Amino acid sequence: MEPVRLCVLVSGSGTILEAMLESGIEVTLVVSDRPCRALDVARRAGVTAQLVDRLNFGGFRSTFDREGYTVELTRVLREDRIDLVAMAGFGTIVTGAFHRAFPGRVLNTHPSLLPDFPGWHAVAATLEAGVNESGCTVHVATEALDDGPILAQRRVEVYPNDDETSLHERIKTVERTLYPTVVARVMASLAQGREPESVAGTVEES
């Protein structure tokens, strides 16, 4: 049986990548959209790391060629025969072409209990809403932002004195455990011929 080839997409410090590597997950490839510490984390672990730089496609300006970037990112992953993609703080929204290239094989983690508080500012929105719990969601990513089948969630209590930094850090702590667990579960399922949607989990307490 061929091993499942995993690519982790990163943009920042690489703490989720570190958690995956420490949990024993075999990562085939790490790709970033900008120079960042996560690429160094991969290289120190002996994992192939590649920069597909946004700057070559217009950077962060309104003229950013999102489709062209998506085509190049897809090419890089296909060239390395990637089976499964795990977004780990990846800061570029790709087009539908990427999801069509890896249908049902792109995972993401989000700092809320989806479908509540999708989007880039989920933690701030949680605090603004005044709810007493938040959490982390691991789901199959689709072209629609923070949509797709939910694989697992874990609750995190919101404390009265929380600010965005303190709450987000507690969510990240849970995320660094939950996400590697789900990725490993999905890889095992794919090796047995089952798709990620078939390994949906439940909401767990932190």
- Active site (catalytic) residues: 110
Residue with tokens 């701030």: 124
Distance between start and end Cα atoms, the chain: 35
Backbone angles phi, psi at 121, to 5 degrees: -115, 45
Backbone angles phi, psi at 156, to 5 degrees: -135, 125
Q: Which two tokens stand for residue 76?
A: 């890089």
CB atoms within 10 A of CB 179: 27
Annotate 87-108 with DSSP letters as a single string.
Answer: EES------HHHHHHSTT-EEE
